[in-house]
Amino acid sequence: MADWMFDAPAGLKDFRDPKDWHRAMEKEARDIIAILAASSLGVDEATSDQIEAERDKLAYVDPTRTAPPETAETVPIQPWNGFPRAVSRKAPWKEYPPVDGDPDGNYRAVEHLGEDDHRAGVFVDRHDRVLHLPVRDRQDEYLEWAVRRDDQRRITKITFVAEGYDYFSELFEHDEGRVLELYKDFTGQRDLKVDDLRAKDGIYRRLKDGSTITVAEPGGFNPRNRYNINPGIVHLSHRANSLGAEVNLAGVSGIIRKKGDGTRLDGTDAEKLLCCNRGGNPNRNSDPLISQQAYAQVLQSFRYTLANPVGLYVAGIEEKGLLLPDNKTKVPREWWNVVRGADLWDPDASRVLRLELEVPERENLTIEDLLIGGNKILFPGQVAELLSVHLFVTRWKRGDASVGPEVKCDATCCRKGALLESSDGSCSDGFQPAFPDLLPPKAAVAVAAAKPAAKTVAAVLPRSAFR
């Protein structure tokens, strides 16, 4: 077994025993290899012997078992925009009539608090009591934000985070006090107690079909606690914004896919690829791009793994887009404060987890006095559009030009306007086949108005140990 240690995101030192985080990530890596081995063999679940037999054929590597060679290189993948593409695709928003600075309603819609990040149903505890646990359910690009306003409701500070809630769940399991300390620091609520962050009686999502999904075990961390929503933000809240989802997506994309006619999918269409491997939500900026770039490693005969420390990070800021009131001078870099992480101004190295934009008091300005595209900032989403997010992979060439196993597509998609939904062979009302060539002809997508609506990719939980 390779001598490998997973470090915490951005090299954070929150864990008293770093091995606790390592073990969590080790399980993630092991689970992905098991999924890929099963895919390669065409079985629902691979045995231990089968996994070992397939391990060295796969492009994706569990670094705890196969150490990257000294010749391996670590590179950032192409960054994606932090403003949710799904929000823009649903515009114009009927519930948000046109106003100055937000004609389509996007900037107001993205601030919505709700539970639509989960499949239709209700949250309940172990006593079957209904719980209301709204989060930033439209901020789904691994970037979320919160604002601070003055007495006149003007924006004085915007905080952006890219830290997965599952990191805090794991930390809570080993050191409740450290999580409480972080919450106090980032919310300003000094009278918080550990039990304010605890899911005393558990949290479960009861779906419309009667089945349930565990969100938090009784006594564990409540990732949807209200203190992460108001008065501030500590970590990501949207269900899909987890480190586990990142690992899952980068992993399941690491195997060559074949279309319905048996020919290889070339991966040039990122949405089509994601519909094929069903690894995430094709309506996001992030998921299709992550999948596509992982797939490109395989096509180019690379073996790869998510770079240590595994994390999702703010990649950079479009500086020229944010100007002082003179509409020509860039906002000073000093007004951007990196709270957790480092190297914000190096796009090839940035591992920023928590970032604040705040105008110094001496300037006698607020953020609303700053300009983007000649317009004053009325909504935090305007600034979010200037931020990008990325992750890193460590890769190395195979000894030959092989690409590993090739398997059929898991699914396809249907389209309604700009929106896509996952499908295993039929389209719900109003949707049309988007990529019918991904499945064999006999299973090709057909418009079936009489059939129940297919579940959207966004509603499918990631195949990950973290939920």
User: Are residues 429 and 399 part of one domain?
Assistant: no
Note whether residue 384 is domain-resident. no
* Pairing, β 419-423 against β 351-358: unpaired
If one counts every other C-beta atom within 10 angstroms of the C-beta of residue 380, the result is: 20
* pLDDT for residue 123: 98
292 lies in some domain = yes
Same domain, 18 and 71: yes
Give the integer Cα–Cα distance in Å for 163 and 165. 6
Flag whether 211 is in a domain. no
| For residues 33-52, average pLDDT | 96
Q: Which two tokens stand for residue 236?
A: 């990501």
Same domain, 399 and 427: no
Looking at 385, 403, 421, which one is the last position of a domain? 403
Q: How far apart are the first and last CA of the chain?
A: 28
pLDDT tens column, 118-150: 999 999 999 999 999 999 999 999 999 999 999
399 and 447 fall within a common domain: no
Nearest alpha carbon to residue 279 among 3, 10, 15, 36: 36
Residues 24 and 69 both lie in one domain: yes
Both 292 and 439 in one domain: the answer is no
Asked whether residue 68 falls in the same domain as residue 16, the answer is yes
Residue 432 lies in a domain: yes
pLDDT in tens, 334-389: 999 999 999 999 999 999 999 999 999 999 999 999 999 999 999 999 999 999 99
Residue 446 within any structural domain of the chain = yes
In sequence order, which ranges of 278-367 are alpha helices (DSSP H)? 286-299
Return the CA Rg of the chain.
Answer: 22
Q: If 0-12 CB within 10 Å is exposed, 13-18 middle and 19+ buried, where does residue 290 land?
A: buried
Q: Per the domain annotation, does 327 fall within a domain?
A: no
Residues 292 and 249: their CA atoms lie apart, in Å, by: 10
Q: Which of 65-103 are b and which e, b meaning 16 or more Cβ less than 10 Å from the residue's Cβ?
A: bbebeeebeeebbebbbbbbbbbbebeebeebeeeeebe
Q: Based on the domain organization, do 260 and 280 belong to the same domain?
A: yes
**126 in a structural domain:** no
Write the single-letter amino acid at 376: K
Q: Which has the closest alpha carbon to 403: 257, 277, 261, 217?
A: 257
455 with 397, same domain: the answer is: no
What confidence tens digit (pLDDT) does each residue in 437-467 have? 999 976 544 443 334 433 333 333 333 333 3
Same structural domain for residues 288 and 432?
Answer: no
% of the chain surpassing 90 pLDDT: 90
Gap between the Cα atoms of 228 and 207, Å rounded: 25
Asked if residue 429 belongs to a domain, the reply is yes
The tokens for 418 are 């700009």
Q: Are residues 293 and 418 in the same domain?
A: no
Mean pLDDT to the nearest integer, 39-44:
94
Q: Residue 263: which domain range?
A: 9-77+243-310+393-403
Determine whether 315 is exposed, middle or buried from the number of CB atoms within 10 Å of its CB (0-12, 13-18, 19+).
buried
> Are residues 278 and 256 part of one domain?
yes
- Structurally, how many domains does the chain consist of? 2
Instruction: Name the 3-class secondary structure at 216.
Output: strand
- Collapsed DSSP state (helix, strand, coil) of residue 453: coil
Could you give the CA distance from residue 315 to residue 294 in angstroms, rounded to a whole number? 18
